[in-house]
Amino acid sequence: EVQLVESGGGLVQPGGSLRLSCAASGFTFGSIWMAWFRQAPGKEREGVAVLSINGRTAYVDSVKGRFTISQDIAKSTLYLQMNSLKPEDTAMYYCAAAFTGGDWRARATFRYWGQGTEVTVSS
């Protein structure tokens, strides 16, 4: 059974940083694409960053230069380092695994999901 458990969310001031973690189990970590998504209240869930099986990364334009996706294969953990946070980054952040094809930014393109961790950026 695939399990994804996110952690690291919280309240942070604008300009601050957070590192989200996603502990994975139930599959060979590093063998499938993984991604971070977010969903703000009243909005669609959107892809934020993706990591392919060959280590290539991609980001949605709104977070380029501020967010970094990475993984520790030995720990079966995916990370999202978020710097220079803005109020518009406030959302529930989800870890996703197993890309099925198409536009990675679309929710339907990933098979497995965690329960999410909440990030609030506010002064």
The dihedral formed by the CA atoms of 49, 99, 115 and 39, expressed in degrees to the nearest 10: 50
Q: How much helix, strand and coil, in percent to the nearest 5, is found in the chain? A: 10, 50, 40
The residue whose two tokens read 């959302």 is: 91
> What whole-number distance in Å separates Cα of residue 8 and Cα of residue 65?
20
Looking at residue 12, what is its pLDDT?
A: 98
30 pLDDT above the threshold of 90 = no
Give 69-106 pLDDT, tens digit per residue: 999 999 999 999 999 999 999 999 999 999 989 999 99
